[in-house]
Amino acid sequence: MSAITPVISATGLFTPPDSISNAELVASYNTYAERYNAQHAAAIAAGDLAELALSSVEFIEKASGVKSRFVMSKAALLDPNVMAPRWAERPNDEISVMAEMGVLAARDALAKAGRDPADVDAVLCAASNMQRPYPAMAIEIQNALGIEGFGFDMNVACSSATFGIQTAADFIRSGNARSVLVVSPEICTGHNNMRNRDSHFIFGDVATAVLVEAVDMAPHPHWEIVGTRLKTVYSNNIRNNFGFLNCATPESVGTDDKLFVQEGRKVFKEVVPMVSAMIADHAAALGIDPASLRRLWLHQANQGMNRLISQRVLGHEASEDESPTVLDTYGNTPSAGSIIAFNRYSDDLAAGDVGVICSFGAGYSAGTVFVRKAA
């Protein structure tokens, strides 16, 4: 029996209503840093403590390309006394924040595909952080949507969505499911150290959904999944130590090393060649000339990285049309980044056009999903 062809029937997007500009973020950080320096003036003067340097809008934009980011908790993130997301704790019988975002993105994808939730077989919640260990976020999303079948969570940091797409595609290829929702709610502002000048500007919040289905039930137009490939290589250069075993003592809860940390320069140098080669090798295996790719929907962490990767793949500097940017307004939205780019910049392609959705990040992890538009 030949494998059933998986396709992307539709994608969905939930964007939080509030956005923070670099100027707003820098004003908050600098107020914190100036207060810290004043408070510790004697120790700094004695050489016992290092003075905190100020952040700047120019640096952030030049180093990363991020100009603003959407967030779930603007006021608390900007309050120099808090600098973390805050919302009222919800009782167990109320939908959790991550599930609520995921449901909105999933509904958007289902509506675009004209799909009834009753026809969906499985929900994967694929994201870089989960709000809790269990019950799985995916099962809460499944329940809220009224989907029968099964759901589970998976985490491969920034590559969670592409790993989820391959998992869903494999379910369809093997006949274990015909319609699978891959939902990626990302609230990385809760794991970011807003008091760290080197990384306070990186993340934004968002949710995406990808409906992966068997070709014989897909709406028109849709995207044939031509090939998927995954790769992981262990690295400590992007790390988050949060977790119940690591927050065992009251003193360790909320300390800096339980939040996101990275060696940004090393990540840049090591991941660019790894991902460029992966896209080229996978294209060759599929008989696709990389230079002929109509569009690259790349992970949205850093503008410079994307410029280099797309240049290596296409053989020339990519235009915005060839490699669209969303990190300027969304920031780094872990696994959702490449899916936002695909969601916003794919309708204009013609039947037969081939492109690649590509994620990369902590692990290291990387995923490539080659897609061909079908009429």
How far apart (Å, rounded) are the C-alpha atoms in residues 143 and 86? 26
Binders of ligand COA among residues 296 to 315 (CB under 6 A) are: 301-302, 305
262 binds ligand COA (CB under 6 A): yes
- Kindly state the smallest distance separating residue 55's Cβ from ligand COA, in Å: 4
Under DSSP, the state recorded for 43 is H
| Choice from 158, 172, 177, 230 touching ligand COA (CB under 6 A) | 158
- Taking alpha carbons only, the member of 338, 326, 329, 267 closest to residue 297 is 338
- Kindly state the smallest distance separating residue 50's Cβ from ligand COA, in Å: 12
373 binds ligand COA (CB under 6 A): no
Q: What angle do CA 209, 294, 178 make, to 5 degrees?
A: 35
- Kindly state the smallest distance separating residue 25's Cβ from ligand COA, in Å: 9
Q: Return the residue matching tokens 């920031």.
A: 331
- Kindly state the smallest distance separating residue 330's Cβ from ligand COA, in Å: 13
* Residue number closest to ligand COA, CB atom: 264
| Choice from 361, 367, 371, 372 touching ligand COA (CB under 6 A) | 361
343 and 349 Cβ atoms separated by less than 8 Å: no
Stretch that binds ligand COA, among 5-13, 52-60, 109-117, 224-232 (CB under 6 A): 52-60
- Kindly state the smallest distance separating residue 87's Cβ from ligand COA, in Å: 24
Stretch that binds ligand COA, among 43-51, 54-62, 98-106, 173-181 (CB under 6 A): 54-62
Residue 36 or residue 59: which is nearer to ligand COA going by CB? 59
- Kindly state the smallest distance separating residue 306's Cβ from ligand COA, in Å: 9
- Kindly state the smallest distance separating residue 191's Cβ from ligand COA, in Å: 11
- Taking alpha carbons only, the member of 11, 331, 75 closest to residue 186 is 331
| Region at 9 (left for phi over 0; alpha for psi -120 to 50; beta for the rest) | alpha
372 and 354 Cβ atoms separated by less than 8 Å: yes
Number of residues that bind ligand COA (CB under 6 A): 21
Residue 56 or residue 155: which is nearer to ligand COA going by CB? 56
235 and 363 Cβ atoms separated by less than 8 Å: yes
63 binds ligand COA (CB under 6 A): yes
Stretch that binds ligand COA, among 92-100, 257-265, 347-355, 366-374 (CB under 6 A): 257-265
Residue 9 or residue 359: which is nearer to ligand COA going by CB? 359
Which residues are tagged catalytic? 158
Strand blocks (E) in the chain: 6-14, 18-21, 68-71, 122-126, 150-154, 179-187, 205-214, 222-232, 238-240, 260-262, 295-298, 354-361, 365-374
265 binds ligand COA (CB under 6 A): yes
Tokens representing 51? 């003075």
| Choice from 28, 55, 276, 310 touching ligand COA (CB under 6 A) | 55
67 binds ligand COA (CB under 6 A): no
- Kindly state the smallest distance separating residue 202's Cβ from ligand COA, in Å: 7
* No. of helices (H) and no. of strands (E), the chain: 11, 13
**91 Cβ contact partners less than 8 Å away, ≥ 6 residues apart:** none
270 binds ligand COA (CB under 6 A): no
| Choice from 19, 30, 59, 119 touching ligand COA (CB under 6 A) | 59
56 binds ligand COA (CB under 6 A): yes
Amino acid occupying residue 238: I
Classify burial at 241, counting beta carbons within 10 Å of its beta carbon; exposed 0-12, middle 13-18, buried 19 or more. middle
- Taking alpha carbons only, the member of 207, 192, 153 closest to residue 337 is 207
Binders of ligand COA among residues 178 to 237 (CB under 6 A) are: 197-198
CA atoms within 13 A on the CB side of 226: 20
Stretch that binds ligand COA, among 43-51, 226-234, 259-267, 311-319 (CB under 6 A): 259-267
CA distances from 198 to 52, 203, 221, 263 (A): 11, 12, 43, 10
Query: Residues in the site for ligand COA, rule: CB under 6 A?
Result: 55-56, 59-60, 63-64, 158, 197-198, 238, 262, 264-265, 267-268, 301-302, 305, 332, 361-362
